[in-house]
Structure 1
Amino acid sequence: MNSRLKFLLLNLFLLCSLSAMAQEKINIGEKQAISSAILNEKREIWIHLPKTYNDSSISPAKYPVIYLLDGEINFEYYTGMSDFLARPPYADMPECIVVGIKNTERTRDLTPTKSQKKSPVNPNVILFGDSGESENFVRFIQEELKPFISKNYRTQDYSILVGHSFGGLFAVNVLLTHPEYFNAYVANDPSLWWDNKVLISKTKSYLEKNKTFPAHKFLYVSQANNEEQNKNWNSEMTQAIEEFKGIVEKNGSLNYKHHFFESEVHGTVSYPGNYDALKFIFKGFRTDIKKLSKNPQLLEEEYKRFSEKAGSNFTPSETYLNVVLKFMKSNDFKESEDYFINLKNSLYPKIK
């Protein structure tokens, strides 16, 4: 074989190899479509499954579900963020299924009342004329989307609702009207100015009637620095969020966190807000693997404490137990290794 032919064959081999490599894809989710009788339209949803969801080396697990509004904007970064925070052995949260809900008529779906706000340039024009149908949208999520997800995926009975701006307004409204629908609510820079601060009035009425918020519920509110970055713009939003903060903190019964982001504006606050929200909601989930070597019972004790706080039962995942066992074995912590072998077998018995 002459050198020219060898050269051609080598190039052909390299091209084939590169072509095969180029065909490998990294997928972060899948698209599904649901025909909604409530909304009278087809809705597109984007679904991200945890890294271990299809791992055949472990027992099939069930996962909490995060319902993410404005899915077309937030889905790509949010899924990577949640996977990062759930990575062992430093997991700050459990692995979760993320369901991004794509918009069709955003203002219609996310606002609780019909707008009466007149245009500042033309008083004959009512702004946000298609508003006020959020009750139908939450019915779609609760009665159609959630059953679809539970039927087609392995879900744990724990869910989070995440929204920004009008989506944050929607999340707060669902907490006040249907608090049982979700375990935790995230409202990034919520538009609480809406309809002369109607949700501020609704919050006051809710507390007058019920005295306290339901037990084990979480609410996280981020606030952007709209006043500093945009002088004389959106002061109504800032005032409404501050007023809501004062009411909730005075009550003291809700697992609540408010975070003001000095360096963020309305359009950017969701990213750091969502990261901080997940850390807040799942505070107490992370365990110190080094401490477990001397006190293996600590793992079950800490999961019990976290479950009581969350109002739902959480157990160590098989993936995490495998990491713990590897650590115990490599460091020759024999007694702790035996303890975790027994724990793993009790939580994830292998079918023979």
Structure 2
Amino acid sequence: MNSRFKFLYLNLLLLFSLSGKAQEKITIGEKQIISSTILNEKREIWIHLPKTYNDPGINPAKYPVIYLLDGEINFDYYTGMSDFLAKPPYADMPECIVVGIKNTERTRDLTPTKSQKKSPVNPGVVLFNDSGGSENFVRFLQEELKPFISKNYRTQNYSVLAGHSFGGLFAVNVLLTHPEYFNAYVANDPSLWWDQKVLISKTKEYLEKNKKFPMHKTLYVSQANNEEQNKNWNSDMTQAIEEFKEIIEKSGSLNYKHHFFEDEVHGTVSYPGNYDAVKFIFKGFRTDIKKLSENPKLLEEDYARFSEKAGTVFSPSETYLNTILKFMNNNGFKESEDYFLNLKNRLYPKIK
């Protein structure tokens, strides 16, 4: 083979090698289309499965579900964030299925009332003419989307609703109107100014009637530093969030956290807010693997405490138990290794 043909031959080999590698794709989710009878339209849903979901080496597990509003904005970063925070041995949260919900008519779906707010630049124009459809949208979530996810994926009986701005307004409204629909609610810089602070009044009415929220419910609210925004027509956003905070904290009936992000504005707060929210919602989930070598029973005790707080039974995953067993084996903790091997066999019988 002369040098010219040898050169061409090597280049063809390289080309085929590169084209083969190009076929290997990293994907973060899958798209599903749901035909909604309630909304009378098709809805696009993005679904991210935990890394262990299809692992043939472990028993098929069930996973909590996070329903993420404004999916087209939040899905990409949220899935990586949740995978990172769920990675053993320092997991701050369980592995979760993330369901991103893409918008069609955002204002219609996420607002609780029909607004009569007039434009600040043209008083003859009424803003948000398509508003007030949140009850239909929450029916879609509860009666169509959640059953679809439960039917097609392995889900645990624990769910989180996360939203930002109008999505945060929606999350608070669902907590007030249908608190049983989700276990935890995340409202990042919620638009509680909406319709003359209608949800502030609704919160007061709820607590006057019910005295307290149902047990085992969690609410996380982030607040951006909206100093510039306070100069425009939407000036009551900060005041509404602060007023809501005072009411909720006074009631003392929710597992509640409010976090003010001094360095974030309305458009950026959802990223750090969602990170802080899942760490708060699942506080107590992380265990200290080093302490388990001295006291193996501590693992089950920690999970029992967390389950009581969450109102749902959580168990250490098979993946985490495999991590613990490897740690015990590598460090010569034979007695503890035997304990966790027995626990694993009890919780996760060997796949035949």
TM-score between both structures, scaled by the size of structure 2: 0.98
SS at 1:284's partner residue? coil
1:58 maps to which residue? Answer: 58
Deviation at 1:197, TM superposition (A): 0.3
SS at 1:135's partner residue? helix
User: What is the letter of the counterpart of residue 48 of structure 2?
Assistant: H
Counterpart CA distance in 2 for 1:74 and 1:319 is: 27
The aligned runs of 1:128-147 (5 Å cut-off) are 128-147=128-147
Deviation at 1:3, TM superposition (A): 3.1
Gaps of 5+ in 1: none
Counterpart CA distance in 2 for 1:335 and 1:10 is: 57
The aligned runs of 1:304-323 (5 Å cut-off) are 304-323=304-323
1:31 maps to which residue? Answer: 31
Deviation at 1:120, TM superposition (A): 2.0
User: What is the letter of the counterpart of residue 90 of structure 2?
Assistant: Y
User: What is the letter of the counterpart of residue 350 of structure 2?
Assistant: K
1:46 maps to which residue? Answer: 46
1:172-225 deviation line (CA, Å, top 9, x unaligned): 000000000000000000000001000000000011111111111000000000
1:257 maps to which residue? Answer: 257
User: What is the letter of the counterpart of residue 128 of structure 1?
Assistant: F
1:105-126 deviation line (CA, Å, top 9, x unaligned): 0000000001011122222221
Gaps of 5+ in 2: none
SS at 1:17's partner residue? helix
User: What is the letter of the counterpart of residue 338 of structure 2?
Assistant: D
1:69-119 deviation line (CA, Å, top 9, x unaligned): 000111001000000100111110000000000101000000000101112
1:12 maps to which residue? Answer: 12
Deviation at 1:231, TM superposition (A): 5.2
- 1:91 aligned to 2:85? no
Counterpart CA distance in 2 for 1:252 and 1:195 is: 26
SS at 2:248's partner residue? helix
Counterpart CA distance in 2 for 1:279 and 1:142 is: 25
Could you tell me the percent identity over the aligned residues? 85
Counterpart CA distance in 2 for 1:45 and 1:151 is: 15
- 1:232 aligned to 2:231? yes
SS at 1:294's partner residue? coil
- 1:221 aligned to 2:221? yes
Conserved 8 A contact 2:318-2:344: yes
Deviation at 1:329, TM superposition (A): 0.6
1:284 maps to which residue? Answer: 284
User: What is the letter of the counterpart of residue 29 of structure 1?
Assistant: G
Counterpart CA distance in 1 for 2:11 and 2:126 is: 67
Q: Which moved more, 1:15-24 or 1:240-249?
A: 15-24
Deviation at 1:5, TM superposition (A): 2.7
Counterpart CA distance in 2 for 1:137 and 1:264 is: 29
1:333 maps to which residue? Answer: 333
1:259-290 deviation line (CA, Å, top 9, x unaligned): 00001000000000000000000000011111
Conserved 8 A contact 2:158-2:182: yes
Counterpart CA distance in 1 for 2:42 and 2:351 is: 41
SS at 2:212's partner residue? coil
- 1:68 aligned to 2:68? yes
RMSD, aligned CA: 0.9
1:201 maps to which residue? Answer: 201
2:296 maps to which residue? Answer: 296
Conserved 8 A contact 2:68-2:74: yes
2:186 maps to which residue? Answer: 186
SS at 1:93's partner residue? coil
Counterpart CA distance in 2 for 1:266 and 1:331 is: 48
Deviation at 1:12, TM superposition (A): 1.4
Counterpart CA distance in 2 for 1:220 and 1:51 is: 26
User: What is the letter of the counterpart of residue 72 of structure 1?
Assistant: E
2:211 maps to which residue? Answer: 211
SS at 2:236's partner residue? helix
SS at 2:130's partner residue? coil
Q: Which moved more, 1:153-162 or 1:17-26?
A: 17-26
Counterpart CA distance in 1 for 2:351 and 2:283 is: 34
Q: How many residues align?
A: 351
Counterpart CA distance in 2 for 1:133 and 1:230 is: 26
Counterpart CA distance in 1 for 2:237 and 2:3 is: 74
Deviation at 1:351, TM superposition (A): 4.5
1:224-251 deviation line (CA, Å, top 9, x unaligned): 0002x44513320000000000000111
User: What is the letter of the counterpart of residue 248 of structure 2?
Assistant: V
1:132-167 deviation line (CA, Å, top 9, x unaligned): 010000000000000000000000000000000000
TM-score between both structures, scaled by the size of structure 1: 0.98
User: What is the letter of the counterpart of residue 232 of structure 1?
Assistant: K
Counterpart CA distance in 2 for 1:94 and 1:325 is: 19
SS at 1:222's partner residue? strand
